Amino acid sequence: MFPNSPNVKLNLLTLVLVQNSIGSSIYQLQHSKEVIGINFSITSNEYYESKRSDIKIDLALKIQSFLYDNSKYAEIDDDIYKIERTYQIGQFIELYLSKTKLRKSDIIDYA
Q: What is the mean pLDDT of residues 10-20?
A: 93
- Plot region of 71 (φ>0 → left; ψ -120 to 50 → alpha; else → beta): beta
Write the CB contacts of 76 (distance below 8 Å, at least 6 apart in sequence): 8, 9, 10, 11, 59, 97
Check if the beta carbon of residue 93 is closer than 8 Å to that of residue 87: yes
Distance CA 111, CA 23 (A): 23
Q: What is the mean pLDDT of residues 102-108?
A: 91
Domain 8-104, CATH homologous superfamily name and number:
Bacteriophage SPP1 head-tail adaptor protein (2.40.10.270)
For 27-48, write each residue's pLDDT tens digit.
999 999 999 999 988 878 877 7
Q: Model pTM?
A: 0.86
